[in-house]
Amino acid sequence: MSRIIFGLVVLLLCTGIAAHAQVTEWETLNSEAVSLYRQGHYDRAIIMAKKALQVAEQSKAPNYSSVATSLNNLAVLYKTQGRYSQAEPLYKRALIIREKALGPNHPDVANSLNNLAELYRAQGQYAQAEPLYTRSLDIREKVLGPDHPDVAASLNNLAVLYLSQDQYAQAELLYKRSLLIWEKVLGPDHLNVAKSLNNLAELYRAQGRYAQAEPLYKRSLAIKEKVLGPAHPDVAASLNNLALQYYDQGEYAKAEPLYRRALTILEKAFGPVHPYLAKSLNNLALLYKTQGQYAQAEPLYRRALAIREKTLDPDHPDVAESLENIAALYRETGREQAAQLFEKRAAAIRAIKR
């Protein structure tokens, strides 16, 4: 079944800055929501984000600050859980507030446009996403200048959209321009450079251009290890993606230790129950399944499913993916009846209109 890729899409979940004493309670709640989000405790984060929004709406703070930020952050949390229909009106309301308070060409408006575009991209609604990404890019270029890091972020995100549609030539041009800006403004060893290198490598890997992808993956990994240390979650993401390259090339002996190291890092960083860990388990399980090592693959797939059912909405697409992965394993091992049960559950999730 499908593999999980760790890449870079710039999507903003903000802590906010208190300008008045009256918003201290809002800032505390909002910061707690962001912290819980980063730990993967999405249900608890949503509770805090809702409380923060309620406080913001009841306070005398300007609409464009606390209310818009709270709306954005609650939307990010809903999107993360696959609750797209709940996220969309929040993103739209935040955008309206910012446009009204700040004007149509403010950087905060560009941020809202970016996040709404990312919501549409995640659902495969590319025609709706593209004009929002483009408008966000136009605002940033006009207000911030063509070499600003936020312009590089917009170029990156638009490239991700094109890559999702297999428009490789357009994506490559944008990725390269984004990389040049980040290298020029931030230096060759900045983390944004590492993430940009990773994304360009993903583009090449998707086209089977492995000789061009591998040195970019390795340079990205080296930057992250240098800046963050060898046990940071971002290092695990690079290890995972380099392992995917080796997997695609059938070099399973090279892929396995990278997957295992990534899994160890994520478990140490986030604990035994986190959505990122589920992705890593899924990838290692697929490696074993591909080699016919079903006894090693099955418990990893099952653990990934258990994590996703615990941390995500029960109808999240990632839950469906885990169910499909287990069903495929069951079919390959002659357990047809069990496979059908898992496929039925997955199909019900896939049929939900989001």
Domain boundaries, the chain: 264-354
Q: Kindly tell me if the per-residue pLDDT of 102 is higher than 80.
A: yes
Q: Kindly tell me if the per-residue pLDDT of 60 is higher than 80.
A: no
| Better-predicted residue by pLDDT, 136 or 26 | 136
Q: Kindly tell me if the per-residue pLDDT of 229 is higher than 60.
A: yes
pLDDT at position 7, please?
38
CATH T-level assignment (fold) for domain 264-354: 1.25.40
Say if residues 294 and 64 touch (Cβ distance below 8 Å): no
Gap between the Cα atoms of 198 and 217, Å rounded: 6
Length in residues, the chain = 354
**10-32 pLDDT, tens digit each:** 344 555 544 444 447 888 999 99
Q: Kindly tell me if the per-residue pLDDT of 291 is higher than 90.
A: yes
Gap between the Cα atoms of 326 and 117, Å rounded: 32
Name the nearest CA neighbour of 8 among 171, 153, 128: 153
Q: Rounded to 5 degrees, what are φ and ψ at 271?
A: 90, 180
To the nearest whole number, what is the mean pLDDT of the chain?
A: 90
**145-167 pLDDT, tens digit each:** 999 999 999 999 999 999 999 99
Gap between the Cα atoms of 112 and 75, Å rounded: 11
The lowest-confidence range among 203-217, 268-282, 333-347 is 268-282
pLDDT at position 83, please?
86
Name the nearest CA neighbour of 254 among 242, 237, 267, 268: 242
- Per cent of the chain over pLDDT 90 is 79
Q: Rounded to 5 degrees, what are φ and ψ at 302?
A: -65, -40
> Residue 38: which pLDDT band, with cuts at 50, 70 and 90?
confident
Which token pair is 212? 């061009």
> Residue 354: which pLDDT band, with cuts at 50, 70 and 90?
low
Name the nearest CA neighbour of 179 among 205, 162, 203: 203
Q: Kindly tell me if the per-residue pLDDT of 40 is higher than 90.
A: no
Gap between the Cα atoms of 127 and 214, Å rounded: 32
Q: Kindly tell me if the per-residue pLDDT of 48 is higher than 60.
A: yes
pLDDT at position 124, please?
87
Identify residue 278 by its one-letter amino acid code: A
Which token pair is 259? 């997957």
pLDDT at position 10, please?
39
pLDDT at position 127, please?
95
Gap between the Cα atoms of 37 and 5, Å rounded: 20
